[in-house]
Structure 1
Amino acid sequence: MLTVRQRLLALLTLCLALLVAPALPAQASGAPAGPAGASSGEAGARNPVVFVHGYNADPGVWGSLREDLRADGYADSELFSFGYDTHQSVNEVLSGRLAAYVAEVRRQTGAARVDLVAHSFGSLVTRWYVKFGGGGPYVDRWVSLAGPNRGTSTAWACALWDQACRDMTPGSYVVKNLNSGDETPGTVRYATFWSNCDEVINPDDSVPLTGAANTPVGCLKHNDLLGDDPTSAGVRAFLRS
């Protein structure tokens, strides 16, 4: 159990890290936007990409990675950002809303499956959808950037009043069930990217999963993975694999 002093320090760390997410232009939230033009390059051979942001963030955090994917030949009509209230329950609310969003993306694009790219808390939302929410058949690749996949002790700072924080604590109902049995179930291909200087994910090695392609990115802060060029290159290579 953390002392009062430790809880206050953890709360300060969490707030400073998560409330200063990169202010990048938002592209899409809520219901998926309609097609924005024909795809280029190998469109049709790729899956649509659905981005899922983290705690206290919004779809705007994906601006840098979206630009990199567009430079690789993706069209806006292949890139989608799921926007949601990050203070709600992973298993009772958010995974179901993500399921409806992915179903609409598939309807709009005609794609059989999508690729999911998640940051931080979004990793738990997407994992629950894949493992328990019926998403396995509809997801080809799953990517976690700095996800609290085994929980993070900094979440204790807000767990008393925030359901999402409770879901992120080590040993929570969500974390325990996601890591029971096969951590990377089904035919989905899994990848994680993690930093050994992450001030939000504690311990740092909470991110890697058994059965995933786990890539250390060096000493980066929690939100810096969103705009880091080598991390972006790794994510894009995995999406092409």
Structure 2
Amino acid sequence: MLTARQRLLALLTLCLALLAPLSAHAADRGTAAASDQASSRNPVIFVHGYNADPGVWGSLRGDLRAAGYADAELFSWGYDTHQSVNEVLAGRLGAYVEEVRRQTGAAKVDVVAHSFGSLVSRWYVKFGGGQTTVDHWVSLAGPNRGTSTAWACALWDQACRDMTPGSYVVKNLNAGDETPGAVAYATFWSNCDEVVNPDDSVPLTGAANTPVGCLKHNDLLGDDPTSAGVRAFLAS
């Protein structure tokens, strides 16, 4: 006959044996949920602006990592910002998108662009096949309708000419549907932008256009509310 102590130990052993599968099942469900969330998330490609480099994305990349993105889901494209949007750069971005899709196995990517990078990525989306490969497109302080400040360097720089109001690039990007296809478009713009002039050059018809208040052109890259807005849009 078992003693009272032995009966208690046997009961505890039985309870632990019954609970173990339940705990394992709960852990499996949690792992599966996290895996499902990651698998449904697009890789993000950052496209920097004129006279910049991929290093400008440090703050936003850090915020996305904190939100659950892995480094293997975040890509910063570097390029020569003094070349033609339509003849050179959009095609090179398209090739980079294909490389990211190959590496990740993703059907689509999300694109976050700053300043001049907005024109490069818009041309790829509108004319370079990006409507089938881009899910979300974000423009931070993009001169989407041109900026008068680009005249300062337009005489010797093709990219500056592309950014001037009424340029071949600007006219074609804004002819007809400014936000074509099933891509989700968003812009973030400041009424104190010293580079984009006029300020309302950034918003696009058909996009989610968000004013961020009085920020300098490059300050949108590290602004917490802007970052939160970008993260929410990518998750939508």
The superposition leaves residues 77-132 of structure 1 with CA deviations (integer Å, 9 ceiling, x where unpaired) of: 00000000000000000000000000000000000000000000000000000000
Matched residue SS, 2:93: helix
Please name the residue that 1:147 is paired with: 142
Residue 71 (structure 1) aligned to one of 42, 62, 66: 66
Q: Could you say which structure has the greater relative contact order, defined with CA pairs below 8 angstroms and 6 or more residues apart? A: 1
Please name the residue that 1:123 is paired with: 118
Matched residue SS, 1:232: helix
Q: Does 1:99 align with 2:104?
A: no
- 1:178 and 1:42 map into 2 onto residues whose CA distance is 34
- 2:125 and 2:196 map into 1 onto residues whose CA distance is 22
Q: Give the AA of the match of 2:106.
A: A
Please name the residue that 2:23 is paired with: none
Equivalent pairs counted in the alignment come to: 203
Please name the residue that 1:197 is paired with: 192
- 1:211 and 1:239 map into 2 onto residues whose CA distance is 16
Q: Does 1:174 align with 2:173?
A: no
Higher-Rg member (1/2): 2
Superposed structure 1 runs of 4+ greater than 4 Å apart: none
TM alignment of 1:1-241, pairs within 5 A: 42-241=37-236
Identity percentage of aligned residues: 88
CA-atom RMSD in angstroms: 1.0
Which ranges in structure 1 are unaligned for 5 or more consecutive residues?
1-38
The verdict on how the C-alpha distance between 1:41 and 1:69 changes in structure 2, with shifts beyond 3 A counting, is farther
Which ranges in structure 2 are unaligned for 5 or more consecutive residues?
1-33
Please name the residue that 1:36 is paired with: none
- 1:185 and 1:151 map into 2 onto residues whose CA distance is 19
The verdict on how the C-alpha distance between 1:73 and 1:41 changes in structure 2, with shifts beyond 3 A counting, is farther
- 1:229 and 1:77 map into 2 onto residues whose CA distance is 23
Identify, as 1 or 2, the structure richer in helix. 2
TM-score, L = length of structure 2: 0.85
- 2:127 and 2:68 map into 1 onto residues whose CA distance is 33
Please state how far the C-alpha of 1:42 moved relative to its aligned partner.
2.1
- 1:106 and 1:185 map into 2 onto residues whose CA distance is 21
- 2:195 and 2:140 map into 1 onto residues whose CA distance is 12
The superposition leaves residues 137-193 of structure 1 with CA deviations (integer Å, 9 ceiling, x where unpaired) of: 000000000000000000000000000000000000000000000000000000000
Please state how far the C-alpha of 1:40 moved relative to its aligned partner.
6.9
